[in-house]
Amino acid sequence: HGDVSAKFCSRRSADALRPLPPRLQSPDVFATAGTTICDNRISIWSSGDLGNAGLNGEYHGEPRLLCDIQHNGDVMDMQFLDQERIVVASSTGTVTIFRHHQNNQTLSANHRWEKAHYHVDQDTSCGGAACTGVVCSNPEIVTVGEDGRINLFRADQKDAVRTIDNADSSTLHAVTFLRTTEILTVNSIGQLKIWDLRHQRNEPSQIFSLAGDRVPLHCVDRHPNQQHIVATGGQDGMLSIWDIRQGTMPVSLLNAHEAEMWEVHFHPSDPDHLFTCSEDGSLWHWDASTNVSEKPSFLHQGGRSTAYLSHSTINQSVVSAWLSNDPTKDRMEITNLIPNQTLSVNSLDVLGPCLVYGTDTEAIYVNRQLFA
């Protein structure tokens, strides 16, 4: 499945990595982080020979380290704010913006919110709580943590714009934007919550939850085009698809990994494709596009019925990709991209034809021909 080139970082697994927003057509630069206690670094990599990418699409370069910088605490999550700035969530509860100076390939700390997440008392020497998730929509930054707190920062402001203390009684594991003013969070008692940041009320505007055992949810992503479709991954490795327009329970539950699903991502430009990675050492590519293409297309049948059917057809093709009620999902094509991996795949990201993932064997892998 495409060429995979690997690079051992020789430090703790790339626990979080994100490609930069693409410049030109190719996502060439990505960031990784290691999570050791004594030597924790944020690194910027070039995913191949920038100049020498062959015209026939062959890439021979290993990922190349451009620059790195020390980081305090384990890196729990990170996101690019823009082409030059990365926001990093630390296990110490600190949130830091690093700037990547591209002219001389260096990294520097740009801004730091010490103990954005904390237990009991922000001023004591200890008591920082791990910041588990961060999401950016320049200039806004939202972070969540083990302290059940939600912070809203602006890149240019010293203090938090908004803090919701005790937003959740359990641990918040991940956060993502639903719309510009709304965010989605998942927690350790199987709940998906929508928060409207315009409201001053410190309560979620909607709560969705798994039925039965309240299995913790670890990751969340929203469909890039159809904002009502949300995917989450749980401790039991199950993939849940939610339609936040209706009901309080997931539309479908798909048996997936054998252990914690650490990340889930819709492909940003081709959202019929979904990627998930897990503690069980697998990385799955879910392809729902075959499902759509095999549906009869009413639009091309012509005749009088076209106008009548077109509306429902559009809806159907929209629904069919992820929300189809077919519980067996037999048409969904699922591929494990890394057979024989024994240790956890902690993070992944996709952009264009590129897939980047990091594992507990302290390696990052770049797959540059995802749809080859």
Partner 1 sequence: MGGAGPGAADEHRPVTVVPGAVPRRQLCFAWGPAEVLVCETLFGRTGEGAPSTSRVFVVRRDQDIYIQTLRKLFNESHGIFMGLQRSEEELAGKSRKAQLVQVSKNYRSVIRACMEDMHQAAISTRDPALQGQYSTQVSILSAMELIWNLCEILFVEAAAAGPLLLRLLDWVRLHVCDVDSMVREVLSSENPSKHKLFWNVVDIFVLQGRMDEARHLLSKEASANPTSMNMYKILDDLMKKMPVPSLGNTQTLTELELKWQHWHEECQRYLQDGTFASNPHMESICKILLGDEDAILEKKELMTTWYHFLVTRLLYSHPTVKPMELRFYAQSSMDLFLGGESSPEPLDMILMAAFEFEMHQVIKECSIVLSNWWFVAHLTDLLDHCKLLQSHNLYFGSNMREFLLLEYASGLFSHHSLWQLGVDYFDHCPQYGRVYLELHIERIPLSTEQKALKVLRICEQRQMHEQVRSICKIMAMKALRNNRLGSALSWSIRAKDAAFATLISDRFLKDYCERGCFSDLDLIDNLGPSMLLSDRLTFLGKYREFHRLYGEKRFPEAARLLLTLMTAHIAPCSFWMTLLTDALPLLEQKEVIFSAEQTYELMRCLEDLTAGNPDKQKFQDDDVETTKVEMLRLALARNLARVIVKEGTVEGS
**Does residue 235 belong to the site contacting partner 1 (CB under 8 A)?**
yes
Nearer to partner 1, 243 or 279 (CB): 279
Task: Pick one of 97, 130, 141, 175: the residue that binds partner 1 (CB under 8 A).
Answer: 130
Q: Residue 214 forms beta bridges with which residues?
A: none
Tokens representing 69 are: 């910088």
Exposed, middle or buried, 154 (CB in 10 Å: 0-12/13-18/19+)?
middle
Separation of alpha carbons 71 and 34, rounded Å: 9
Separation of alpha carbons 134 and 219, rounded Å: 11
Q: Taking CB under 8 A as the rule, which mask of x and - marks residues 15-44 in contact with partner 1?
A: --------------------xxxxx-----
On whether the CB atoms of residues 232 and 223 are closer than 8 A, the answer is no
DSSP 45-108: EE-S-TTT--TTS---PPPEEEEEEE-SS-EEEEEESSSSEEEEEETTS-EEEEEEETTTTEEE
Smallest distance from partner 1 to CB 171, Å: 5
Number of residues that make up the chain = 372
Task: Pick one of 207, 299, 314, 372: the residue that binds partner 1 (CB under 8 A).
Answer: 207
**151: DSSP letter:** E
**Does residue 274 belong to the site contacting partner 1 (CB under 8 A)?**
no
Smallest distance from partner 1 to CB 71, Å: 14
Smallest distance from partner 1 to CB 169, Å: 3
Q: Nearest 5°: CA angle at 91, between 90 and 96?
A: 15
**Does residue 263 belong to the site contacting partner 1 (CB under 8 A)?**
no
- Considering only the stretches 154-162, 203-211, 239-247, 265-273, report the one whose residues sit in contact with partner 1 under the rule CB under 8 A: 203-211
Nearer to partner 1, 96 or 191 (CB): 191
Of residues 179-198, which lie at the interface with partner 1 (CB under 8 A)?
188-191
Smallest distance from partner 1 to CB 287, Å: 28
Of residues 61-90, which lie at the interface with partner 1 (CB under 8 A)?
74, 76
Separation of alpha carbons 4 and 241, rounded Å: 29
Pairing of the two strands 18-19 and 206-209: unpaired
Nearer to partner 1, 42 or 323 (CB): 42
Task: Pick one of 56, 104, 158, 212: the residue that binds partner 1 (CB under 8 A).
Answer: 212
The alpha helices in 294-367, defined as continuous H runs, are: 305-322
Tokens representing 83 are: 């082409």
Task: Pick one of 59, 332, 360, 366: the residue that binds partner 1 (CB under 8 A).
Answer: 360
Nearer to partner 1, 85 or 218 (CB): 218
Q: Residue 359 forms beta bridges with which residues?
A: 345
DSSP 97-122: EEEEETTTTEEEEEEEETTSSBSS-T
- Considering only the stretches 8-16, 157-165, 290-298, 329-337, report the one whose residues sit in contact with partner 1 under the rule CB under 8 A: 8-16
Nearer to partner 1, 8 or 371 (CB): 8
Tokens representing 6 are: 């690997």
On whether the CB atoms of residues 351 and 22 are closer than 8 A, the answer is yes
**Does residue 105 belong to the site contacting partner 1 (CB under 8 A)?**
no
- Which residue type, as a one-letter code, is found at position 51? G
Binding-site size for partner 1 (CB under 8 A) equals 50
**Which residues are near partner 1 by CB under 8 A?**
8, 10-13, 35-39, 74, 76, 91, 119-120, 127, 129-130, 132, 146-148, 166, 168-171, 188-191, 207, 209, 211-214, 216, 235, 259-260, 279, 340, 342-344, 360-363
